[in-house]
Amino acid sequence: MERILIIEDEDKIARLLEMELGYEGYTVDCALTGREGLRKAASGQWDVILLDIMLPELSGLEVLRRLRQTDEFTPIILLTARGSTPDKVSGLNLGANDYMTKPFEIEEVLARIRACIRTRKSNQQAAAGSHPLLLLDDLTINTRSREVVRGGVPVELTPKEFALLLYLVENRNQVLSREQIINEVWGYDFVGDTNVVDVYIRYIRKKVDYPFPKQLIHTFRGVGYCIKESEA
């Protein structure tokens, strides 16, 4: 039975989420402040954390930052106010896996949770059943430690960026459509625009391609993306 932590200071929203998630069979706990949420998050094993950005005592972004210092793997979905694009970007850069904009439909929350759990299990199974090192040109990915190195330089990626890069490398030399990437990295239940793929490709390129002389990730306009060894 999957365990979900809700860190949300709006009591009505917290109670609604707790009731709906409990009805779906999840084990649920709640925290109403940032400090309480950080303490509960650090003291238990959670399959997904729902984290509001606007929290008393400690902001959601600060909770996220502190959690990611010791836990890179637990999926975290941010709950944000409409129009808070800078907070969303900051949250994704700090390591959030996804975000939901209030007000939201409970069906979409459930779909995002299922997608996060499925992706995490798939990554764990792949890492356990395969050789831990993936090599492409001067890029090395350790699927167990989730370390990425290019040209001897460590590359820091958020969980979603890592999942996307891993999928590209596992399917090297293949042109992957945005729909394929969405289905495999975000999950079939993803509700949103496929432009999210373009956004994350830009994030990865800034870390994996642009600091280096040769490009690995290639755009095929109107089709999708492909990663392949750099040409001499």
Q: Is the pLDDT of residue 200 over 90?
A: yes
Q: Which has the minimum average pLDDT: 109-113, 165-169, 193-197?
A: 193-197
Q: Is the pLDDT of residue 203 over 90?
A: yes
Residues of the chain with CATH 1.10.10.10: 130-227
Q: Is the pLDDT of residue 69 over 90?
A: no
CATH code, 130-227: 1.10.10.10
Domain 3-122, CATH among 3.40.50.300, 3.30.930.10, 3.40.50.2300, 3.40.190.10: 3.40.50.2300
pLDDT score for 184: 84
Q: Is the pLDDT of residue 201 over 70?
A: yes
- For the segment 31-45, what is each residue's pLDDT rounded down to a tens digit? 999 999 999 998 878
Residue with the bigger pLDDT between 100 and 230: it is: 100
Mean per-residue pLDDT for 127-134? 66
Residue with the bigger pLDDT between 54 and 187: it is: 54
Residues of the chain with CATH 3.40.50.2300: 3-122
Q: What is the 3-state secondary structure (H, E, C) of the chain?
A: CCEEEEECCCHHHHHHHHHHHHHCCCEEEEECCHHHHHHHHHHCCCCEEEEECCCCCCCHHHHHHHHHHHCCCCCEEEEEECCCHHHHHHHHHHCCCEEEEECCCHHHHHHHHHHHHHHHHHHHHHHHHCCCEEEECCEEEECCCCEEEECCEEECCCHHHHHHHHHHHHCCCCCEEHHHHHHHHHCCCCCCCCHHHHHHHHHHHHHHHCCCCCCCEEEECCCEEEECCCCC
pLDDT score for 124: 63
Q: Which has the minimum average pLDDT: 51-65, 71-85, 166-180?
A: 71-85
pLDDT score for 206: 94
Q: Is the pLDDT of residue 128 over 70?
A: no
